[in-house]
Structure 1
């Protein structure tokens, strides 16, 4: 009986509870229904605003920018000139010029001055330093124009070859190289090309690398002709030093073909190209004493001027500090000694420790390893110990004093991405999107507040 009464009371209490709370439950549902309606209304308003905005897009896209003329030209080793003419339905207010070497990620960004308007003529002349770009490279450029309403036009890239047009070049093609020459001595040109092919094959085998691009060799008949293509250091330096050859970029070689040592110079400069390929990395360059030493060794016998300078420095114990030879010499009076000493150090390393160790050293440098760490890893000692061992092989004691060499700074270039395609872009009205979003947010907050009541 007691249990029955207890059950009955539970049933009565439950029934009474349901009866009292039913109206409240119904009211909450009505409130939630109102909030849902408000949320749906806000969403519909947002969708309608987007539809209206999208339907208005064609009107914005009607603002067109059109390029009516575009030119690029150059004066070798003096300047580059870029010209563009364009028109639009809205005033053109900004222009950006991009240019750089084809295949390079380094690109110049330039903001030329011009008068904004519906029709514009914009040009920019870039002054060049002598030897800034090697002959034969391809230069790519493109423009980005912006109208007052935000419409943007980016042009397709245009490419042209930057050639030394001061000479009437002829072309000879070998197995590994293309040789450009002018004048009447075709037999000499063929001899140099044959030498180049032989050296490239030998160096690739010794270094364990393969050239991905053909080498371009420009043979000049005089110092005067070649000077326009070379970088200048100083008036005094250029007057005292004759440049027999120079490697530029990854695969270009300039050669003074009229010099008796032209055949040796080809081996020297091709060594730079192959060694650079073998040690290429984004972190560090090869020390100059090693790079030039390998190039001098590739020539074969040390030239007489370098030999005399080296012997004199050994006799007087005035050898250049090996650490200061990490960069190029800025003193014309030390050039012969610099190259002679670099040859001597590399010859010592090859004779004492063998070619296999040298190849291993180049592989370690290819990983971006610093000079001291690379030597320690391969030979078990650093630069100072290498210098003392080399000096001992010459009959000299440990180095007591150094002759410093000043290195010249390199120019920097602003980097940016390369273009992919021509495209028009149009700015949309931010307010048209913001208003319905704001209304939807307010309606949502109102609905939440109604649900919290009671």
Structure 2
């Protein structure tokens, strides 16, 4: 762990000096550097020489946690020595700041022999601020404002959520997570792609293990909603990652809202109202993208929480653990439910819908009553940590209700009994990140 902590420091320091090395398999001497020039891109430079001459040079790079390489082709004048500069343009939002970028150079000499340098790493980060890292290889929280205690609370909340999800449901985080905490929405704006909406106040990228969040120092209600919810999305994504199929939206969002420590009253009210009116959606309709209208979105998230809670109440933590494990195999939604729970997806749908009215009233009673049926008043608090809202929903809510929505690029009762000890505050990836709206 000490090595992990020490490794964080050079990444936040000034651009690395030229690294000189000899490629053992061939007589190529290389001096190279990589400098992040936020927000424009990363500047790569290399000097290479070989007695056999260098005919071609290629830059191969990839973001951390990604296997696919991107090829850069600097212009080369063949000769015994080449001095090359190549910029990877990132201003258009190709990569969110906060990631390690791994790279190496590949040279082809005049005889056609191909030689590669060892892989190196450069941090692509928002260098407008003096970031303080706190954490280890599993979770690192970066902050530039506020006190150390609040930053430690963010870290503790993330680590506690990871531990609970693993202990209760077998969902294991295999790759590290980075959380970049911005003090205000205005500060975050500079880290977003050009022409991003002015109300955006956060984004998460499960496939990169990255969260960007606006958490003003001392706002522990915000912390209790946002961090457990978003960590849940990252954990489930990593626990079920496969090349074929991911969990349905109702499982992803249901588990994330279950993990949250606050803001669930509006969800259970919406379930109760829909159940009473006979308007609960079919479970199959919650497999994919949720509705765009605010009330439809609220209902979809509420139903997701209700379904996941029903599975835990009926089949126990073991049942949900089995469901998560089966989805890691990339099977269909129908096969996953049948193998894990022993019933069909349609049978789960019918059983949940039958149990929902009593379930919602029971949960509301546990919360101490309602906050007023049918309104969007608590939609603001809920959406703050909602990970999969599409841009259309958030924009519409901004116009209709002035809500605040936390979104992920992908991919609420008090803690259930046994969920935590109370000492800590409590994806399917999509092509573009979905962001959180500011107040």
Alignment TM-score, normalising by the size of structure 2: 0.63
Distance, in Å, in 2 between the alignment partners of 1:203 and 1:247 is 19
Q: What residue number does 1:28 align with?
A: none
Distance 1:74 1:390, change over 3 A: same
1:91-134 Cα distance to aligned partner (Å, 9 max, x none): 64322211113564322233334444554443332233666545
RMSD over aligned Cα, in angstroms?
Answer: 3.9
- The 8 Å contact of residues 174 and 239 in structure 2, kept in 1 or not, is answered as no
Q: Of the two, which has the highest radius of gyration?
A: 1
Q: Compute the displacement of 1:142 (Å).
A: 1.4
State the distance in 2 between where 1:218 and 1:147 align.
Answer: 43
1:39 alignment counterpart: none
1:393 counterpart SS class: helix
**Alignment partners' CA distance in 2, 1:122 and 1:321:** 58
Match of 1:171, SS state, is strand
Unaligned runs of 5+ in 2: 1-25, 359-389, 393-408, 411-428, 433-439
Tell me, in whole angstroms, the C-alpha distance in 1 between the residues paired with 2:355 and 2:171: 31
Counterpart Cα distance in 2 of 1:304 and 1:347: 14
2:256 aligned with 1:298:
no
Checking the alignment, whether the CA contact within 8 Å between 1:215 and 1:251 is kept in structure 2 is: yes
Instruction: Determine which of 239, 247, 266 is the counterpart of 2:227.
Output: 266
Cα displacement (A) at 1:72: 1.6
Higher RCO (CA-CA < 8 Å; seq separation 6+): 1
Q: How many pairs are equivalent?
A: 337
- Where structure 1 has 5 or more consecutive residues not aligned to the other structure, the ranges are 1-62, 397-404, 413-454
Residue 137 (1) aligns with residue 107 (2): no
TM-score, normalised on structure 1? 0.62
Q: Deviations over 1:279-299 (max 9, x none)?
A: 344433222220111010011
Is 1:225 the equivalent of 2:187? yes
Alignment-derived partner of residue 255 in structure 1: 213
User: Residues 105 and 116 of structure 2 are in contact (CA less than 8 Å); yes or no, is this contact kept in structure 1?
Assistant: yes
Q: CA deviation at 1:140?
A: 1.8
Instruction: Indicate how the Cα distance of structure 1 residues 193 and 158 shifts in structure 2: closer, same or farther if over 3 A, else same.
Output: closer
Secondary structure of the equivalent of 2:331? coil
Q: The residue matched to 2:45 in structure 1 has which SS?
A: strand
Q: How does 1:349-388 map to 2 (within 5 A)?
A: 349-388=311-350
CA deviation digits over 1:171-221, x for unaligned, max 9? 334896432222133332233333333333322211235545554332221
Query: Shift of residue 229 of structure 1?
Result: 4.7
Normalized per residue, the structure richer in helix is: 1
Do residues 111 (structure 1) and 78 (structure 2) align? no
Partner of 2:168: 206
Distance (whole Å) between structure 2 residues aligned to residue 228 and residue 304 of structure 1: 34
Give the one of 144, 148, 157 matched to 1:186: 148
Contact kept? 1:70, 1:85, Cα under 8 Å = yes
Q: 1:154 to 1:280 in 2, by over 3 A?
A: closer
